[in-house]
Structure 1
């Protein structure tokens, strides 16, 4: 009992610190905050560093040698990359991932969902009532893009995508028809209002994931699935549950694909130029980034000029939208390899726990990050925090986003 109570206190402590960091990071993606006070972000670095250090110290007897090696290896790699590249946020992310160890994933996702819903919901209302800017961009032949209080329209649509995905993963919920309908409705909304093709496509894909999971759970195959651990040899044996296991490799496949395309890209070739146009110039900037900054083990600082918080076009525009290329060049090849391994670990644990929606969510997020830069941004993607977390789920609930269940619970 004493051990459980102590664990509960550490869990509450993490969720409070994580909630504060999320509040800061979510607000930073909106028009509410023009500029934070100097060094303000160090407060949150200090909070999570202090929490994680104390948690490891006071629970050191309960940490196995294998766990200690994993925690230490991750922290060492991210810290070296953060110091060499100048992106100290990697150190904060490492503390968050280690701090989330053995914390129930549903509580982590619930904190993300509620903080995100409140902040983005408030920004949406404030923007349409004129309290904060609603950035608008006119696109030839595409229509008007609106950001609804977020720094850029695609960032707004990305928030919608991640909140929907996370909301449907909480408590390993039983998928409902209304989940699917709401997902399709929101997909249509971001397409019409923000002209965000990537997140529209990902939301539609996620609706199909929900439909597939709902159908699959009615089959005999699902009933035969057991809650059991498996070795990595068993996990990569795709003769059993091949579709779910192949999904774990999608981030690796997409990473290899975009790197290959960026290296081979030839703007003088009509086929390459046509593909680049369809990918909104991502091959151009990815190729330029690789040629100018080279691929390093631990990355380097890269000055970018993007659109965020302004409708003014930058003549020197340069932005690495693809998450895989972004991590590779800014944080280094070792960090990218570590992140890809983390996706495999999360997929394996999700399959062991029969969290099929979460397995599908990995595929959707991986595809989204092929076109956008949010994979290692805490205000968008909380799934990487789950690598050391507790996937146990004692009871499943049937609810639609914020609608109460028969038991009175809400997600």
Structure 2
């Protein structure tokens, strides 16, 4: 089967071309939905329709290895069962993007993500400043602090875009320009606290700076030893989130204080578990949260934690499988001495304990990169070992 096509004198892999034909419109539409620009409801269907190209790209891959088959089959099966239980195709869409990204250079995908996300963020920011779309401003009760969303649907969603855009930019370029990205990161932390009062994203962004500095300047065995527990960050974050939520009791002084610090998230999570329970393949729940309007929500019930929210809507089986994928990817990163990718996984894992963007590619692009090509991050001896493993697993 033909693997390349000529375009303006260049040879382009057909599977790569088909993937980006799906990914680019899907990302643009998804990203626009996080802004205050008006979007028609049918655009969701258009975005998902483009994913047929991502599925088609699979048949132009040179090889399918065992990892690809296991991940793809499992996600498609889980996604189909979620669809039957809830009529939601979100997991199937995620599976198609993950399959399409197989063997494609992760840098190309991340650079495309950064180009689209940053352009739309800049457009939304300046549009909100000149009144084309609203800059929603919320006042935090008690302190009176004004929180700006700058053209995005909510201040924390704006902050999440800033966090992830910085995280993936630094992921690609921090090694060469550590002080530039450290300084930029500190400025962004200050900006998020001053103008959006987005504490979670400011803290995790600062954590990313510290981890990248540690990797950049701590070398050899010391770095490897410091990273030993990092592969289990997603699993630990998942378990801690559930333990704190399930055992939450307002009469417990520590848990009550922690719940106040987390703006009532433990209480909301515990109430949702008691009301809805956790189903294997999800359920239809109408979550009411803030966003798109400064009007107060009368029956607020939104569950922010990714580990909880996606367990409710897509089921416990899905979230367990996703946590497993992230953990296995992190273990592989440690073996490859790929500490930058490992740091990104740690930051995402911690942020997802409180925020709900874990599997949304227009925030967290790593959600679709489990099967992508990360060879640019591997040290030479790790590349040789990986090539040897892949040569035995092709089918």
| 1:41 is aligned to 2:44 | yes
Q: Compared with structure 1, are the counterparts of its residues 151 and 249 closer, same or farther at alpha carbon in structure 2 (3 Å cutoff)?
A: same
Specify which of 307, 311, 318 is matched with residue 335 of structure 1.
318
| Aligned counterpart, 1:315 | 298
What SS does the corresponding residue of 1:266 show, helix, strand or coil? coil
User: Does structure 1 retain, via aligned residues, the 8 Å contact 2:136–2:294?
Assistant: yes
Q: Compared with structure 1, are the counterparts of its residues 250 and 131 closer, same or farther at alpha carbon in structure 2 (3 Å cutoff)?
A: same
| Aligned counterpart, 1:85 | 86
Q: Compared with structure 1, are the counterparts of its residues 256 and 54 closer, same or farther at alpha carbon in structure 2 (3 Å cutoff)?
A: same
Q: Compared with structure 1, are the counterparts of its residues 354 and 106 closer, same or farther at alpha carbon in structure 2 (3 Å cutoff)?
A: farther
Specify which of 158, 162, 165 is matched with residue 164 of structure 2.
162
Aligned residues: 373
The alpha-carbon deviation at position 168 of structure 1 amounts to 1.4
What SS does the corresponding residue of 1:271 show, helix, strand or coil? helix
Query: For residues 199 and 22 of structure 2, what CA distance do their matches in structure 1 show?
Result: 34
| Aligned counterpart, 1:124 | 125
User: Does structure 2 retain, via aligned residues, the 8 Å contact 1:172–1:357?
Assistant: no
- Provide the TM-score with structure 2 as the length reference: 0.88
Q: Compared with structure 1, are the counterparts of its residues 185 and 143 closer, same or farther at alpha carbon in structure 2 (3 Å cutoff)?
A: same
| Aligned counterpart, 1:57 | 59
Unmatched 5+ stretches in structure 2: 6-10, 380-395
Q: Compared with structure 1, are the counterparts of its residues 245 and 335 closer, same or farther at alpha carbon in structure 2 (3 Å cutoff)?
A: farther
Specify which of 171, 182, 185 is matched with residue 184 of structure 2.
182
Q: Tell me how large the CA RMSD over aligned residues is.
A: 2.3
What SS does the corresponding residue of 1:81 show, helix, strand or coil? helix
Query: For residues 146 and 366 of structure 1, what CA distance do their matches in structure 2 show?
Result: 26
| Aligned counterpart, 2:376 | 393
| 1:270 is aligned to 2:253 | yes
Query: For residues 349 and 233 of structure 2, what CA distance do their matches in structure 1 show?
Result: 7
User: Does structure 1 retain, via aligned residues, the 8 Å contact 2:136–2:151?
Assistant: yes
Decide which moves more: 100-109 or 338-347.
Answer: 338-347
Unmatched 5+ stretches in structure 1: 223-239, 397-411
Residues 315-353 of structure 1 show CA distances to partners (whole Å, capped at 9, x for unaligned) of: 101100011111222211111111111112322343455
| Aligned counterpart, 1:113 | 114
What SS does the corresponding residue of 1:387 show, helix, strand or coil? coil
Aligned pairs (5 A) from 1:204-283: 204-216=206-218, 219-221=219-221, 241-283=224-266
Q: Compared with structure 1, are the counterparts of its residues 395 and 77 closer, same or farther at alpha carbon in structure 2 (3 Å cutoff)?
A: closer
Q: Compared with structure 1, are the counterparts of its residues 363 and 220 closer, same or farther at alpha carbon in structure 2 (3 Å cutoff)?
A: closer
| Aligned counterpart, 1:135 | 136
Query: For residues 373 and 133 of structure 1, what CA distance do their matches in structure 2 show?
Result: 23
Specify which of 353, 359, 375 is matched with residue 370 of structure 1.
353
The alpha-carbon deviation at position 180 of structure 1 amounts to 0.6
| Aligned counterpart, 2:390 | none
Higher relative contact order (CA 8 A, sep 6+): 1
Q: Compared with structure 1, are the counterparts of its residues 373 and 116 closer, same or farther at alpha carbon in structure 2 (3 Å cutoff)?
A: same
Residues 87-124 of structure 1 show CA distances to partners (whole Å, capped at 9, x for unaligned) of: 32221111111111111100111111110000011111
Query: For residues 240 and 220 of structure 2, what CA distance do their matches in structure 1 show?
Result: 36
Query: For residues 394 and 380 of structure 1, what CA distance do their matches in structure 2 show?
Result: 22
Decide which moves more: 329-338 or 157-166.
Answer: 329-338
| Aligned counterpart, 2:276 | 293
Query: For residues 123 and 359 of structure 1, what CA distance do their matches in structure 2 show?
Result: 31
Residues 374-410 of structure 1 show CA distances to partners (whole Å, capped at 9, x for unaligned) of: 11112111112111111111899xxxxxxxxxxxxxx
Query: For residues 306 and 178 of structure 2, what CA distance do their matches in structure 1 show?
Result: 31
| 1:347 is aligned to 2:352 | no
User: Does structure 2 retain, via aligned residues, the 8 Å contact 1:148–1:156?
Assistant: yes
| Aligned counterpart, 2:364 | 381
User: Does structure 1 retain, via aligned residues, the 8 Å contact 2:21–2:54?
Assistant: no
User: Does structure 1 retain, via aligned residues, the 8 Å contact 2:55–2:99?
Assistant: no
| 1:68 is aligned to 2:69 | yes
- Provide the TM-score with structure 1 as the length reference: 0.85
The alpha-carbon deviation at position 302 of structure 1 amounts to 1.1
